[in-house]
Amino acid sequence: MIYLIFDIFLYLYFATVVVAAVTATMYRRSLQYPLNWLWIYLWLNVLVELLVYALRYFKISFFWSYNAFGPIEYFFISWLYLHYYKSSLEKNIIKILFILYTLFVIYYMIYLNGFNEFHVVFVVRSMLMATLSLYFFLKIYRSDEILEINRSPLFWLSIGLFLFCTGSIFTMGLGTSIMRFNSQLGYLVNMLNPILNIYLYIMFIVSFSCSRQNPGFY
């Protein structure tokens, strides 16, 4: 029963990613830069999921695909924030963090069993993306500018990313530890993963809708 529910959530998650990718593609001409490039990231996501499904079907290790996709995902998300921040210091920090993370992933995959595990890479990426979104919240809170949150795509993306990343730190980090002691309980905790993903990609769709309402604002 648990496995059935888990499968249902997985299919729902995949459907949400596809809907988000289709939405991004349909609206890409009316979306502001760099939102109009997110369709590439979303379709790559779909491809990665299809690849993982195929590898699982043939009982081949698939964690390396998630690890390899990690830096690409981080690149797209940090690119959004890079465009938002005006200060050169902030931009440089984002660029440096991306380079460091990519090097870490390569090192992990080659030297630290990265082909058979991916939760460490995932947790590190989640921490970085949670930090980016937290910093964004701090910036908009401190700013004197009037921000219509109903029309701010990056705001809704940040809400999605923050909750997704903090949840993933639990499911991927702590949940994997539970798996060692109690595999069923670990499986239950891992069920949160697709739920968090569904939530994240719904926020993507919401952010695309916001951008269309007010194309002059990023």
Partner 1 sequence: MQPTESRILLIITLGTLLLITSSIFIVVFLFYFRRKQLINKQEKASLQTQFNQEILKSQIEVQNTTLQQIGQELHDNIGQLLSVAKINLNILEGTKQEEENHEYIKQTNEIIGQSIQDLRSLTKSLDGDFVQQFGLQESMTHELQRIRKTKKFETEITLTGEPYTLGYEREIILFRIFQEFLNNSLKHSEAKNIIVKLNYGLTHFNLALSDDGKGFDYEKVTTHNLLSSGAGLRNMARRCELIGAKCSLESLVGKGTFLGIEVPTRKSLNT
Residues 174-203, one symbol each (x = binds partner 1 by CB under 8 A, - = not), give xx-xx--xx--x---x--------------
CA atoms within 13 A on the CB side of 62: 13
CB of 139 to partner 1, least distance (A): 11
Q: For residue 188, what are the contacts with CB-CB under 8 A and spacing of at least 6?
A: 2
CB of 143 to partner 1, least distance (A): 9
**Count of CB atoms situated within 10 Å of the CB of 171:** 23
User: According to CB under 8 A, which one of 8, 60, 103, 147 is a site residue for partner 1?
Assistant: 147
CB of 192 to partner 1, least distance (A): 8
Residue with smaller CB distance to partner 1, 19 or 174: 174
163 binds partner 1, rule: CB under 8 A: yes
169 binds partner 1, rule: CB under 8 A: yes
Residue with smaller CB distance to partner 1, 78 or 152: 152
Residues 26-45, one symbol each (x = binds partner 1 by CB under 8 A, - = not), give --------------------
CB of 31 to partner 1, least distance (A): 24
Residues 126-145, one symbol each (x = binds partner 1 by CB under 8 A, - = not), give -----------x--xx--xx
149 binds partner 1, rule: CB under 8 A: yes
CB of 56 to partner 1, least distance (A): 25
Secondary structure, 3-state, the chain: CHHHHHHHHHHHHHHHHHHHHHHHHHHCCCCCCCHHHHHHHHHHHHHHHHHHHHHHHCCCCCHHHHHHHHHHHHHHHHHHHHHHCCCHHHHHHHHHHHHHHHHHHHHHHHHCCCCCCCHHHHHHHHHHHHHHHHHHHHHHHHCCCCCCHHHCHHHHHHHHHHHHHHHHHHHHHHHHHHHHHCHHHHHHHHCHHHHHHHHHHHHHHHHHHHHHHCCCCC
CB of 155 to partner 1, least distance (A): 9
**Count of CB atoms situated within 10 Å of the CB of 100:** 12
1 binds partner 1, rule: CB under 8 A: no
Note the residues at the interface with partner 1 (CB under 8 A). Answer: 137, 140-141, 144-147, 149, 159, 162-163, 166-167, 169-171, 174-175, 177-178, 181-182, 185, 189
